[in-house]
Amino acid sequence: MDYKYELDIIAKNSKTAFTPLSIASSDEKNHCLALISAQLIKDQKKILEANKIDIDNGKKNNLNSAMFDRLKLTSERLEDIAKGVDDIILLDDPVGKIDGEFKLYNGLLVKKVQVALGVIGIIYESRPDVTVDAAALCLKAGNAVILRGGSESIHSNKALAESMAVAIRQSNLSEFSIQLLPWTNREAVSCLLKLNQYVDLIIPRGGEGLIKFVSENATVPVIKHYKGVCHIFVDKDAELNMALSIVENAKCQRPGVCNAVETVLIHKEIADRLIKPLAQNLTHKGVELRGDETFCSYFPEATPATEDDWHEEYLDKILSFRIVENSDEAIAHIGMYGSAHSDAIISKNQQTCDKFLREVDSAVVYVNASTRFTDGGQFGMGAEIGISTDRIHARGPMGLNELTTYKYNVTGNGQIRK
Amino acid sequence: MDYKYELDIIAKNSKTAFTPLSIASSDEKNHCLALISAQLIKDQKKILEANKIDIDNGKKNNLNSAMFDRLKLTSERLEDIAKGVDDIILLDDPVGKIDGEFKLYNGLLVKKVQVALGVIGIIYESRPDVTVDAAALCLKAGNAVILRGGSESIHSNKALAESMAVAIRQSNLSEFSIQLLPWTNREAVSCLLKLNQYVDLIIPRGGEGLIKFVSENATVPVIKHYKGVCHIFVDKDAELNMALSIVENAKCQRPGVCNAVETVLIHKEIADRLIKPLAQNLTHKGVELRGDETFCSYFPEATPATEDDWHEEYLDKILSFRIVENSDEAIAHIGMYGSAHSDAIISKNQQTCDKFLREVDSAVVYVNASTRFTDGGQFGMGAEIGISTDRIHARGPMGLNELTTYKYNVTGNGQIRK
């Protein structure tokens, strides 16, 4: 099949839809979002039937229970999805906000204005709720979106996209503002990744294979939402109970997410007080412990950790431990093995904390708090398109603001350059 | 030659240099910049000798006079280059600045902090002054830089880089903070463009061929500094003398730069008053005029413009003209043919100006001013690495701030996620 030809048309339609959408008023965009939310509820029956096909196919393909959990829609979940769209209506429109204003030596008035980013391609895996969340966020920020979900949820995604299309056609906005690709294979994605003429940004959300494929094939700018190999460094000056509670929370509250902790680094001077209660508590919660030699000498029930463990995003109730000489060694470990997502120190020593905040170059660096707070909702962004693990344009939680760019508006009264 | 092997070493050294450089104090960085400035003056003789080799080679290769002008170094120009480094010392250090601070519902204090961006590859053409400017700007923002200049200036660039290396070795910073690639061919660039493990950003500055090559081959993030097809729209409500003066300035003050105007769009209702004096004035200044049919009917001495003219960055004393029905047609022309660099309207009608500011989606949009002000120096940034024509991370003039990214520092007292 000639994806290039088809995708050219789709992407060109997105670009054409972008121009009016980028300058649409907040009221127009919010009205459209309200229509979408209502239509999703109206189309509940159709959407759940489509979802059932995905679920049945998933059973045939032996999906694991975590995948079923992400895939399955119910009336309640669909209501939550619609509620999510309603919540986006309530968020401030970032487009048109003034980010700074200054007068030049010659009287020119310069305003830095937030504007919509462009046509955004979102490439994601099996979660149908992303189809609606991502579309609604992009639309609110004035961006046209091209969605490409995974094959497991294709029937659900198509039903959700069709429902959104019905809603958009009742609004002032172009129906091409939100488009779902009907193909779930890599060839189609590969074409999309090279449409620089029409596509301004690709956001891939997913596992190593997907991210690697996108990175290697894209000529369009990419902001990766990659893995979280998050660390907690328990300093010698840590409060013991705080360390126990934060490590447990960061691993156990929801082990399958990117901001869960994967490796705990322990200052050697607190090892003998910390390890026993910490290890017992975690084992009691069903966590498998893997440790370096010193850790295992304190807690022989732990599995010896290998080099691979330090790189691993377990996404599961597994946690690795390493004893370090000092904060420098902890910071160096995080720099070498971390994914620059979220890393925390637990310490009462202000100087050590300041050093950690300055020297750990991750999207979010914590002092005396769980890494689980790296989240657009928790950060007060209202909703997020994901967590960027890249350094360009946006780091950490990406909300509406991060889905915009800026331009300079300069007003004069005849100024010319001397 | 196995560029991959060599470049891996170079880029890895850059990454290693980046970590201490990213957290170096302003004093350390400024001290290093002062050493560089002094060393360039000390090494004047060596640098000018090296430049003479490039000039002699250029003569053999029949470089045009504009290229010689960019290539040639003199004592005065070298002093200007050193002075440019001194000016960068005086600029505020962007690293560590707090970009925003907020408290979450649970008491967590979140600070958004500016941090160094990483290892930056600058790919440029024949201007040896860029070697020092770019290196000094990157260093001040805490970034390690890999420079790759054009073959015409390779001897000058090597001499300048060697001089900077001598200076850095006297400072606390790693000598790998600034590295110049000794190769000027495309194979070496091609390798550099794929070193995602070590390189965080590529900034190509140059003509269409270079930009296209980089875009198509890079897997590392790229911020393009591409051409400026800039427009001035003279509205029916324009002040005539202002229009004459701004168009002349935007074309003639320095025709060979990206923020010079290339196409003037004229509202049909002002055509009969504007065209004659404007065309005579420009012709008098030696500008070649190309126009659409209507323009040529007013000024038959003009050459008929073709479709190609609307896409063209002349970089010369050539200017194209088109008569438009209204501001919508002007805005549509700019959207279709412009390069989203700098575009201006001349009008006394506030409503038309506001519409133009809102609907023209270019990096810099002007009302009643020359497009020639799109420049880091003019914008008060002090110095610039170039003018971004991309939408991601930075648009328009890129100074020190745009060479940084951010992270979130979050401080708590034991917060865990419920």
User: What is the DSSP annotation of B313-344?
Assistant: ---SSEEEEEEESSHHHHHHHHHHH--SSEEE
Both structure tokens of B158: 């090597």
B142-167 b/e (C-beta count within 10 Å ≥ 16 → b): bbbbbbbbbebbbbbbbbbbbbbbbb
Q: Long-range contacts of range A1-5, CB-CB < 8 Å, 24 or more positions apart?
A: A1/A187, A3/A183, A3/A187, A3/A188, A3/A190, A3/A191, A4/A191
> Binning pLDDT at 50, 70 and 90, where does residue A65 land?
confident
Nearest partner of B132 among B5, B39, B241, B45, judged by Cα: B39
Q: How many A-B residue pairs are in contact by the CB < 8 A criterion? A: 197
Nearest to B393 among A22, A216, A393 (CB): A393
Confidence check: pLDDT of B126 > 80: no
Under an 8 A CB cutoff, do B115 and A380 touch? no
Pairing of strands A98-103, A109-116: antiparallel
Which residue in A has a C-alpha nearest to residue B335's C-alpha? A19
Task: Identify the pLDDT of residue B264.
Answer: 98
> Binning pLDDT at 50, 70 and 90, where does residue B134 land?
very high
Under an 8 A CB cutoff, do A366 and B411 touch? yes
Chain B residues with CB under 8 Å of A239 CB are 414
Under an 8 A CB cutoff, do A365 and B409 touch? yes
B263: exposed, middle or buried (Cβ count in 10 Å: 0-12, 13-18, 19+): buried
Chain B residues with CB under 8 Å of A359 CB are 23
Contact B199, B222 (CB under 8 A): no
> Binning pLDDT at 50, 70 and 90, where does residue A14 land?
very high
Which residue in A has a C-alpha nearest to residue B418's C-alpha? A253
Interval B322-347 mean pLDDT: 97
Chain A residues with CB under 8 Å of B117 CB are 391-392
Under an 8 A CB cutoff, do B391 and A219 touch? no
Chain A residues with CB under 8 Å of B407 CB are 361-365, 395-396
C-alpha A138/C-alpha A146 separation (Å) is 10
**Which ipTM score applies to this complex?**
0.95
Per the prediction, chain A carries an average pLDDT of: 96
Task: Identify the pLDDT of residue A127.
Answer: 87
C-alpha B358/C-alpha A111 separation (Å) is 12
Q: Are A36 and A156 in the same domain?
A: yes
Task: Identify the pLDDT of residue A405.
Answer: 98
Distance set, CA B245 to CA A141, A298, B320, B353, B368 (Å): 38, 81, 17, 18, 10
Tell me phi and psi for residue B412, to 5 degrees: -135, -170
Under an 8 A CB cutoff, do B416 and A391 touch? no
C-alpha A288/C-alpha A269 separation (Å) is 24
> Binning pLDDT at 50, 70 and 90, where does residue B35 land?
very high
> Binning pLDDT at 50, 70 and 90, where does residue A282 land?
very high
Q: Are B32 and B76 in the same domain?
A: yes
Interval B229-238 mean pLDDT: 98
Query: Is residue B417 a part of any domain in this protein?
Result: no
> Binning pLDDT at 50, 70 and 90, where does residue B105 land?
very high
Chain A residues with CB under 8 Å of B415 CB are 368-370, 373
Q: Are A108 and A185 in the same domain?
A: yes
Query: Is residue B92 a part of any domain in this protein?
Result: yes
Q: Are A342 and A394 in the same domain?
A: no
Q: Are B366 and B277 in the same domain?
A: yes
The residues near A166 (Cβ < 8 Å, ≥ 6 apart) are A39, A43
Tell me phi and psi for residue B407, to 5 degrees: -140, 165
Nearest partner of B43 among B135, B162, B205, judged by Cα: B162
> Binning pLDDT at 50, 70 and 90, where does residue A119 land?
very high
C-alpha B128/C-alpha A155 separation (Å) is 58
Both structure tokens of A194: 């090279």
Length of chain B: 418
Both structure tokens of A380: 């007060």
pLDDT one-digit tens code per residue, A199-254: 999 999 888 889 989 988 999 999 998 899 999 999 999 999 999 999 999 999 99
Under an 8 A CB cutoff, do A416 and B249 touch? yes
Confidence check: pLDDT of A284 > 80: yes
Q: Are B343 and B314 in the same domain?
A: yes
Tell me phi and psi for residue B109, to 5 degrees: -100, 120
Contact B270, B236 (CB under 8 A): yes
Q: Are A115 and A254 in the same domain?
A: no
Share of chain B above pLDDT 70, in %: 100
Under an 8 A CB cutoff, do A201 and B392 touch? yes
Nearest to A408 among B393, B396, B413 (CB): B396
Contact B363, B341 (CB under 8 A): yes
> Half-sphere exposure of residue B135, counting CA atoms within 13 Å on the CB side?
34
Task: Identify the pLDDT of residue A154.
Answer: 96
User: Which strand (E) or helix (H) includes residue B387?
Assistant: strand B386-388
Query: Is residue A35 a part of any domain in this protein?
Result: yes
Task: Identify the pLDDT of residue B83.
Answer: 96
Which residue in B has a C-alpha nearest to residue A21's C-alpha? B359
Which residue in A has a C-alpha nearest to residue B341's C-alpha? A407
Tell me phi and psi for residue B239, to 5 degrees: -80, 125
> Binning pLDDT at 50, 70 and 90, where does residue A125 land?
confident
Pairing of strands B261-267, B318-324: parallel
Task: Identify the pLDDT of residue A208.
Answer: 83
Chain B residues with CB under 8 Å of A16 CB are none
CA terminus-to-terminus distance, chain B: 58
- Find the CATH number of the domain harbouring B93: 3.40.605.10
Which residue in A has a C-alpha nearest to residue B407's C-alpha? A363
> What sign does the CA torsion over A279, A280, A282, A288 have?
positive
pLDDT higher at B1 or B90: B90
Task: Identify the pLDDT of residue B401.
Answer: 96
Three-state DSSP class for residue B390: coil
Chain A residues with CB under 8 Å of B216 CB are 219
Both structure tokens of B155: 């001897």
Instruction: Tell me which of B361, B370, B379, B395 to substitute to probe the interface with A (most A C-beta atoms closer than 10 Å).
Output: B361
Distance set, CA B21 to CA B31, B113, B174, B175 (Å): 13, 16, 8, 11
Confidence check: pLDDT of A66 > 80: no
Please give the tally of structural domains in chain A. Answer: 2
Task: Identify the pLDDT of residue B1.
Answer: 74
Minimal Cα–Cα distance from A314 to chain B, Å? Answer: 19
Query: Is residue B44 a part of any domain in this protein?
Result: yes
> Binning pLDDT at 50, 70 and 90, where does residue B120 land?
very high
Nearest to A410 among B250, B369, B409 (CB): B369
Contact A399, A382 (CB under 8 A): yes
Both structure tokens of A240: 């013991």
Which residue in B has a C-alpha nearest to residue A365's C-alpha? B409
Which residue in A has a C-alpha nearest to residue B18's C-alpha? A361
Under an 8 A CB cutoff, do A104 and B380 touch? yes
> Binning pLDDT at 50, 70 and 90, where does residue B36 land?
very high
A181-203 b/e (C-beta count within 10 Å ≥ 16 → b): bebeeeebbbbbbbbbebbbbbb
Share of chain B above pLDDT 90, in %: 91
Q: Are B221 and B239 in the same domain?
A: no
Chain B residues with CB under 8 Å of A414 CB are 239, 242, 245-246, 368-369
Tell me phi and psi for residue A323, to 5 degrees: -90, 130
Query: Is residue A354 a part of any domain in this protein?
Result: yes
Chain A residues with CB under 8 Å of B396 CB are 407-408
Task: Identify the pLDDT of residue A82.
Answer: 97
pLDDT one-digit tens code per residue, B287-303: 999 999 999 999 999 99
A93 DSSP 8-state letter: P
Query: Is residue A67 a part of any domain in this protein?
Result: yes
pLDDT one-digit tens code per residue, A189-198: 999 999 999 9
Interval A88-99 mean pLDDT: 97
Under an 8 A CB cutoff, do B22 and A361 touch? yes
Contact A321, A304 (CB under 8 A): no
Tell me phi and psi for residue A265, to 5 degrees: -105, 130
C-alpha A39/C-alpha B413 separation (Å) is 44
What is the pTM (predicted TM-score) of this model?
A: 0.95
C-alpha A130/C-alpha B239 separation (Å) is 52
Would residue A224 be called left, alpha or beta, if left means φ above 0 and alpha means ψ between -120 and 50 degrees?
A: beta
- Find the CATH number of the domain harbouring B287: 3.40.309.10
Under an 8 A CB cutoff, do B364 and A413 touch? no
Nearest to A359 among B23, B366, B380 (CB): B23
Interval B36-60 mean pLDDT: 97
Write down the H helix ranges in B61-127.
65-71, 75-90
Contact A234, A270 (CB under 8 A): yes
Share of chain A above pLDDT 90, in %: 91
Chain B residues with CB under 8 Å of A104 CB are 373, 378-380
Chain B residues with CB under 8 Å of A373 CB are 104, 108, 410, 415, 417
Contact B163, B43 (CB under 8 A): yes
Q: Are A198 and A272 in the same domain?
A: no
Task: Identify the pLDDT of residue A382.
Answer: 85
Chain B residues with CB under 8 Å of A361 CB are 19, 22, 115, 407
Nearest partner of A395 among A348, A354, A339, judged by Cα: A339
Minimal Cα–Cα distance from B161 to chain A, Å? Answer: 27
Under an 8 A CB cutoff, do A390 and B221 touch? yes
Under an 8 A CB cutoff, do A415 and B215 touch? no
pLDDT one-digit tens code per residue, A367-406: 999 999 999 999 999 889 999 999 999 999 999 999 999 9
C-alpha B266/C-alpha B246 separation (Å) is 13
Minimal Cα–Cα distance from B74 to chain A, Å? Answer: 24
Tell me phi and psi for residue B140, to 5 degrees: -60, -35
Chain A residues with CB under 8 Å of B257 CB are none
Minimal Cα–Cα distance from B397 to chain A, Å? Answer: 10
Task: Identify the pLDDT of residue B221.
Answer: 94
Q: Are B265 and B180 in the same domain?
A: no
Tell me phi and psi for residue A134, to 5 degrees: -65, -40
Confidence check: pLDDT of B220 > 80: yes
Under an 8 A CB cutoff, do A412 and B368 touch? yes
Query: Is residue A378 a part of any domain in this protein?
Result: no
Which residue in B has a C-alpha nearest to residue A380's C-alpha? B104
Q: In what order do the strands lie in the sheet with B303-304?
A: A98-103, A109-116, A404-415, B364-369, B342-346, B230-234, B261-267, B318-324, B288-291, B303-304
SS (HEC) of B119-148: EEEEECCCCHHHHHHHHHHHHHCCCEEEEE
Minimal Cα–Cα distance from A303 to chain B, Å? Answer: 27
C-alpha A224/C-alpha A204 separation (Å) is 6
pLDDT one-digit tens code per residue, A126-137: 789 999 999 999
Nearest partner of A121 among A5, A10, A256, judged by Cα: A10
Q: How many CB atoms lie within 10 A of CB B69?
A: 11
Under an 8 A CB cutoff, do A358 and B108 touch? no
Confidence check: pLDDT of B66 > 80: no
Confidence check: pLDDT of B27 > 90: yes
Nearest to A358 among B23, B219, B353 (CB): B23
Domain enclosing residue B317, as ranges: 230-373
The residues near A99 (Cβ < 8 Å, ≥ 6 apart) are A112, A113, A114, A406
Q: Are B367 and B405 in the same domain?
A: no
Query: Is residue B383 a part of any domain in this protein?
Result: no
Q: What is the DSSP string of B220-282?
A: S-B--B----EEEEE-TT--HHHHHHHHHHHHHS-TTSTTSEEEEEEETTTHHHHHHHHHHHH
C-alpha A177/C-alpha A394 separation (Å) is 23
DSSP-assigned beta bridge partners for residue A336: none
Q: Are A159 and A28 in the same domain?
A: yes
C-alpha A373/C-alpha A390 separation (Å) is 18
